[in-house]
């Protein structure tokens, strides 16, 4: 057995720990070099490293290297020590090894090797929310509502969603087999997909109905603010008579702080958006809106739920405090802290909580979350569809439409029927109804337009005047 030799002396260990502080200097954290001998105690109150505790650390380190059942390299042990320090701070501080550091960069850049599927969990299986356009998933015929029961032959029942996503990602050109259950298909079937480079658009938009726009922000990446402005302008171009907008932040885990500021700024003319408080000199920051509301003070609804966290809560909180939007849904996650990523090597970093953020009204969201103005729980709603009934257009010898409009009989209605929004997404349906209510109420408060009488519209005003004489 090789006799244990200490990796470093106490003095060298102190130097190593001080060297790690160079990374903190980029965040304006200065670490004072201890000016004491190895025989002197180091006062924690003076900001110096505690020598007795460091001696205890080296003893534990010594015992592990000598007696642990398996041989572990010094590098691994030191990484374990770093991980342990950060893990004990809070749930959001962590050590990022090369793989995790790369994944973090992927999440903020929005580009990775994968299949192009937006997924969620249902009854323990991975459910396809939507295949992204022009991706391996859409080209292979994956459909919204599909349940993925196996990934690469591995059952997903009981698997964490993050683990399932990890199995779907991989190098461009590699293949993965998905076993799928689909409504209307009796047996599960396999689809073989070839991974490609996926560029995630963190923002999507569409018109729900004429005049009512929908904006979905899936996560906050570096360019999300620009994408939000771009999509709003696209909606206004598609429908110049835009009456209101729904901003969907449900299940948005957050992301880049500056991106959340940019999104909130898109709907505010002025005022504070968020401020942070921390121990570092740059930990106290304020972010304010610049002039220019992209939807020009039109009614705005923001959808949130328990999956809306961090940057999502910054946006919802700012718009709620400024009374710029009505928040609909359920209480948000409650993550009111800011993490700073500090590189400590070429491919490694630490993610450390450095500040708490507060809404313009001074609310700390930490461990509380944003409470919606109107609570709407997610629910399965089934519309009551009456049995097919005879309409006027079905009667023999019926008169044609007086304006020459197309007939709308029972057959046409059945052919054109679509699932009601309330059946597929009751929260979105409630938000749309609320948005319509704002519009109707606002229009009713406007001066009433002059309305011509029936006689005037028919050109009979003079005849009626003569008759009156």
Give the residue numbers marked as catalytic: 310, 321, 335
* 107: three-class secondary structure by DSSP: helix
Q: Is 290 exposed, middle or buried (0-12, 13-18, 19+ CB in 10 A)?
A: exposed
Is residue 191 within 8 A of residue 178, CB to CB? The reply is yes
Two structure tokens written together for 274: 């968020």
Which residues 6+ apart lie within 8 Å of 10 measured at CB?
38, 51, 54, 55, 58
Q: Classify residue 33 by its DSSP letter.
A: P
Is residue 350 within 8 A of residue 94, CB to CB? The reply is yes
Q: What angle do CA 432, 319, 251 make, to 5 degrees?
A: 65
Sequence length of the chain is 469
Is residue 292 within 8 A of residue 269, CB to CB? The reply is yes
Q: Please state the φ and ψ torsions of residue 53, each to the nearest 5 degrees.
A: -70, -35
* 454: three-class secondary structure by DSSP: helix
Two structure tokens written together for 318: 């700012």
Helix (H) or strand (E) holding 165, with range, is helix 161-168
Identify any residues that bridge with 212 across adjacent strands, giving them in sequence order. Answer: 209, 244
Is residue 268 within 8 A of residue 293, CB to CB? The reply is yes
Which residues 6+ apart lie within 8 Å of 59 measured at CB?
none
d(CA 344, CA 96): 10
Q: How many CB atoms lie within 10 A of CB 338?
A: 22
Q: Classify residue 364 by its DSSP letter.
A: B
Two structure tokens written together for 402: 């007086």
d(CA 117, CA 55): 51
Q: Choose among 97, 99, 108: nearest CA to 350.
A: 97
Taking the chain, what is the end-to-end CA distance rounded to the nearest angstrom? 126
Q: Classify residue 155 by its DSSP letter.
A: E
């Amino acid at each position: 057995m090789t006799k244990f030799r200490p990796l470093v002396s106490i003095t060298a260990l102190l130097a190593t720990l001080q060297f790690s502080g160079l990374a903190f200097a980029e965040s304006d954290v200065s670490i004072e070099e201890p000016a004491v001998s190895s025989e002197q105690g180091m006062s924690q109150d003076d900001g110096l490293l505690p020598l007795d505790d460091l001696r205890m650390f080296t003893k534990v380190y010594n015992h592990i290297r000598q007696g642990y059942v398996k041989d572990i390299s010094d590098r691994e042990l030191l990484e374990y020590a770093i991980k342990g320090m950060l893990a004990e701070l809070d749930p959001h501080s962590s050590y990022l090894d090369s793989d995790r550091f790369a994944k973090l960069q992927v999440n903020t850049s929005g580009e990775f090797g994968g299949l192009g599927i937006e997924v969620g969990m249902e009854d323990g299986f991975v459910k396809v929310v939507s295949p992204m356009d022009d991706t391996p998933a859409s080209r292979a015929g994956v459909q919204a509502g599909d349940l993925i029961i196996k990934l690469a032959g591995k059952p997903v029942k009981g698997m964490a969603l993050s683990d399932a996503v990890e199995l779907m990602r991989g190098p461009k050109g590699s293949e993965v087999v998905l076993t799928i259950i689909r409504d209307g298909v009796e047996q599960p079937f396999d689809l073989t997909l070839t991974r490609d480079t996926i560029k995630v658009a963190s923002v999507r938009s569409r018109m729900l109905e004429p005049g009512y726009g929908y904006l979905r922000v899936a996560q906050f990446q570096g360019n999300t603010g620009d994408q939000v402005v771009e999509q709003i302008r696209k909606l206004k171009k598609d429908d110049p008579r835009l009456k209101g907008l729904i901003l969907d932040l449900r299940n948005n885990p957050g992301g880049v702080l500056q991106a959340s500021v940019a999104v909130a700024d898109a709907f505010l003319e002025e005022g504070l958006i968020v401020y942070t408080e921390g121990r570092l000199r740059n930990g106290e920051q304020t972010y304010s809106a610049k002039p220019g509301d992209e939807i020009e003070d039109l009614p705005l609804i923001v959808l949130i739920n328990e999956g809306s966290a961090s940057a999502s809560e910054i946006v919802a909180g700012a718009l709620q405090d400024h009374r710029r939007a009505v928040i609909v849904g359920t209480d948000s996650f409650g993550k009111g802290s800011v993490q700073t990523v500090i590189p400590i090597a070429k491919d490694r970093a630490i993610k450390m909580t450095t500040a708490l953020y507060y809404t313009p009204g001074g609310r700390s969201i930490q461990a509380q979350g944003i409470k919606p103005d109107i609570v709407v729980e997610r629910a399965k709603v089934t519309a009551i569809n009456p049995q097919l009934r005879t309409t006027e257009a079905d009667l023999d010898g019926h008169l044609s439409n007086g304006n020459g409009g197309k007939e709308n009989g029972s057959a046409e209605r059945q052919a054109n029927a679509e699932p009601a929004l309330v059946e597929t997404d009751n929260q979105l349906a409630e938000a749309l109804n609320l948005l319509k209510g704002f519009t109707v109420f606002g229009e009713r408060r406007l001066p009433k337009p002059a309305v011509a009488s029936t006689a005037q519209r028919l050109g009979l005003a003079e005849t009626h005047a003569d008759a009156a004489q």
